[in-house]
Chain A
Amino acid sequence: MRRISFWIATFVLCWVAANWAHGAELRIPQNATAGQSLTIGAGAGGTLYLVGPGQVIKRKVQGGEDVQISGDELRNAGRWIAIVRGGGGDQSQVFWVRPGKAENVNFLARPSRVPVNKPGVISGVAFVFDKSQNLVLDPTKVNFSLSVGSAHAEHTATSSNGVAWVTSSSAPKAGAAQFVASLPDVQVRRVIEQVASDPCNLKMKVIQREKGKVTVETDPVRDCTGNAVPDGTIVTFTQTDSTGRSVVDARIKKGIARAQLPAEPNARISVASGVVLGNEIRLGGGQ
């Protein structure tokens, strides 16, 4: 009976001691998440320091009490160290704070201006963040959509290490394309200006001959997919005749380029824009 009492007393003492020791330990949950509240058992009490990426939190704690850290305070994900000083000894413990759920997207769309009908020229890169701007490393589905006019293309990419990306071709139709990266609750819009490509089938004709001058004019200048080449584009008219060569770098205005050249007999007039050649006409003869 004595022996039994001895063992029971020993067990109770051990249990009390273990319980007391456990109460003096620093206890931190292993699933801390940025932006969410956190409860820390500060053991014997003293001053609790939480040192994280770009942030330090300090609390006075009584022995045996738990400390509540609010979600607004615990903003930064990454490696943190909890330190308790005083209250019978210093303790420290490393713990990790994970990013919260994906709530923000930063979206890089390149380029801002691109010729139409070019394969694989548009790239979109989305960086997924939580509400505290921590990069969300867990795979997250990001939806990309590119639309100009009635043409619409959509693609879903899963982020890897917080980054999701997509490449796309430019549409055959010129215009301001809306390039959108979206999460369920948020979307970011960029504009990709899709512009006409090089002129195609450049043609001109004589529209007037008077007072020693001949006026030549192009047909509406369009690229190979039918988009109007923007106003201001240079169209070069070159006339070769017996007096030499005359050149006018005309600008497209309202879709048409026009130039006045000296009216000389047997003149040959050609037209070009950039590296694209157009037709040639002869004055005084057939085209």
Chain B
Amino acid sequence: MGRILAIIFAIFTVALVAAGAIHKSSTATASTPEAAVQSLLADAKARDWQGAYSYVAKASNADLQNFQRDIQGRDASLRTYSSIDSFQTRVLRQNDDEGLVRTDVKYSTAVGPFYDTRDLRVVREGGNWKVVWPVQKEQTVPPQVIPVNYLRWDIIWRGANDDWGAQDVESPHVRILSMHPTERDNSVILMGEVVNEDTVPAFVSVGATLVGKNGQDLAEETSFDKTSHVLLPKEVSPYRVDFPGIKLADIKSARMKPDSMLVPASADPVIGVLHQRVEQDAKGHTVLRGELLNESGQTVNIPHVLATFYDNSGQVIWVSDGYVDRALQPQVPQPFAVDLRDELASQVHTYRVTVNQYSLNRQE
């Protein structure tokens, strides 16, 4: 009996070792273009880069490292703080040798979900379907010295030993230029623009309180990330405050509360927003596209784009924002796109884009 048990355990051990030693074949197989894309994304979601790369076609001209960096991100960009949450695929067209699959990938990021839509070409390679993964070629900046001599603002606050009458440094003066209420998707939305009228930088937060018909406060919210918080002198930023689940008809008035605080800041970096245009995306939705150009010498890790849309009377009719999931290298243009509500597209007369930036190595 003991010998039989020993033999059974030996066979079981060998079987386990064999199972553990089995690796996915470097020539993974997929029976359809859609299956190839799904397998690639499933492996990428599981961070099995080797497995995901096995579904990449040779025509992609991408090595494993570039492929991994393309999905996982680099330079401390938003993509590096994200992971694939879910994906959907749809075959747009297919023949015996080639197919086109639309993929909608939802990433979970540090700032909320991020959606990426790509139309992936899938080709037959040696009897298997492989995905032509378009690795985004990252431009590299040639070695150079970029002189940056923008000023910084530092602050000396009032000390504990100062005379009680000694004044502290004044908070910056900010002003709300406009406020426009609207109701969208079962939410009341207050939006407009705020300006730093002062000669020093300001950390600005726009809060709002809705007052009901009976004079009682209904809700209180702030603009959170739907505004630029650090405003340099004379800088104008849009703001948007959302009140979910409240109807405009229930509101008597709104109290706006722009708070400002003096903060140390740097006038660097300057980010240009080039070639902005409103157009349709692959799904037929209206988007505002353009390119960001980091004119400074340091990498901007996470750019945040804020777009303000105006009607022909100059009134703000929508404020939209979006994070760019790739870092801004100095002097290298980076495309961006932010949504514009389709029903508002015909009313948009003009628009303005501003850029927030979050950089790891920058001292504010």
Question: Chain A interface (Cβ within 8 Å of chain B)?
Answer: 106-113, 127, 188, 190, 195-196, 198-199, 229-236, 238, 243-251, 253, 259-262, 273-275
In contact, A275 and B199 (Cβ under 8 angstroms): no
A residues in contact with B153, CB < 8 Å: 232
Chain B nearest CB from A142 CB (Å) reads: 13
Cβ B199 vs Cβ A113 within 8 A: yes
Kindly provide the distance from the CB of A118 to the nearest chain B CB, expressed in whole angstroms: 12
Any chain A CB within 8 A of the CB of B151? yes
Nearest B residue to A246 via CB reads B274
Min Cβ gap B364→A in Å is 14
Check if B217 is an interface residue, CB within 8 A of chain A: no
Say whether A251 contacts B270, CB under 8 Å. Answer: yes
Decide yes or no: A249 and B235 within 8 Å by CB, A111-B170, A112-B170, A259-B272 being known contacts.
yes
Determine the distance from Cα of A17 to Cα of B275 in the docked complex, in whole angstroms. Answer: 109
Q: How far is the CA of A111 from the CA of B262 in the complex (A)?
A: 14
Question: How many Å lie between the Cα of A246 and that of B236 in the bound state?
Answer: 16
C-alpha spacing A198/B234, complex, angstroms:
8
Check if A232 sits within 8 Å of B169, measured CB to CB.
Answer: no
Q: Does B281 contact A (CB under 8 A)?
A: no
A235 to chain B, nearest CB (A): 8
Q: Are A112 and B151 in contact (CB under 8 A)?
A: no
Whether A108 touches B167, Cβ cut-off 8 Å, given contacts A232-B151, A243-B277, A275-B195, is yes
Q: Does B72 contact A (CB under 8 A)?
A: no
Complex: how many Å from CA A238 to CA B236? 14
Which of B22-30, B338-346, B347-355 forms part of the interface with chain A? B347-355
Shortest distance between the CB of B165 and any CB in chain A (Å) = 4
Listed by A's residue number, 8 A-B pairs whose Cβ atoms lie within 8 Å are A107-B165, A108-B165, A113-B199, A234-B236, A246-B273, A249-B271, A251-B267, A275-B236
Instruction: Decide: A262 and B150 in contact? CB cutoff 8 A.
Output: no
Most buried by B among A188, A199, A232, A261: A232
Give bound CA distance, A158 to B169, whole Å. 28
CB distance from A9 to the nearest CB of B (A): 68
State the Cβ distance, A211 to closest chain B Cβ, in Å: 12
Most chain A CB within 10 A, of B153, B270, B351, is at: B270
Q: Which residues of B contact A196 (CB under 8 A)?
A: 199
**Interchain CB contact (< 8 A) of B270 among A108, A190, A250, A274:** A250
Residues of A contacting B168 with CB < 8 Å? Answer: 112
Residue B1 at the A interface, CB < 8 A? no
Q: When the two chains form their complex, are residues A113 and B169 in contact, meaning their CB atoms are under 8 A apart?
A: yes
Check: B8 CB closer than 8 A to any chain A CB: no
Residue of B150, B201, B272, B275 with most chain A CB atoms under a 10 A cut-off: B272
Question: Are A245 and B164 closer than 8 Å at their CB atoms?
Answer: no
**Which residues from chain A contact B177 at a C-beta distance below 8 Å?**
275
Query: Besides the contacts A190-B166, A249-B354, A274-B195, what 16 more A-B pairs have beta carbons closer than 8 Å?
Result: A110-B167, A112-B170, A113-B198, A188-B165, A232-B150, A232-B267, A233-B199, A233-B232, A238-B352, A243-B277, A244-B290, A245-B276, A246-B274, A247-B272, A247-B273, A249-B270
Q: Write out the residue numbers on chain B whose beta carbons fall within 8 Å of the beta carbon of A245.
A: 275-277, 290, 351
Most buried by A among B163, B177, B267, B354: B267
* Residue ranges of B at the interface with A (Cβ–Cβ < 8 Å): 149-151, 153, 163-170, 177, 195, 197-201, 232-236, 267, 270-277, 290, 295, 351-354
Complex Cα–Cα for A188 and B163 (A): 10
Chain A binding surface SS class: strand
Contact B233 A232 (CB under 8 A): yes
Give the nearest-CB partner of B175 in chain A. Answer: A275
Write out the residue numbers on chain A whose beta carbons fall within 8 Å of the beta carbon of B199.
113, 195-196, 229-230, 233
Q: What 7 A-B pairs come out closest when comparing CB atoms?
A: A244-B277, A274-B234, A106-B165, A233-B233, A251-B267, A246-B274, A234-B235
Of the candidates A106, A110, A243, A247, the one whose C-beta lies within 8 Å of that of B352 is: A247
Contacts of B149 in A (CB 8 A): 253
- Complex CA gap A234/B295 in Å reads 15
| Least Cβ–Cβ distance between A236 and chain B, in angstroms | 8
Which residues of chain B are near A127, meaning CB under 8 Å? 165
A229 to B163 Cα, complex, angstroms = 32
Residue in B closest to A238 when the chains form the complex, CB atoms: B352
A235 to B167 alpha-carbon distance, docked (Å): 31
A113 to B354, CA, bound (A): 28
CA distance A146 to B174 in the complex (A): 26
Residues of B within 8 A of A110 (CB): 167
Residue on B nearest A109 in the bound complex, by CB: B167
Contact A244 B272 (CB under 8 A): no
Closest Cβ neighbor of A196 among chain B residues = B199
CB of A262 within 8 A of CB of B166, answer: no
Q: How far is the CA of A113 from the CA of B197 in the complex (A)?
A: 12
Question: What B residues does A253 contact at CB under 8 A?
Answer: 149-151, 267
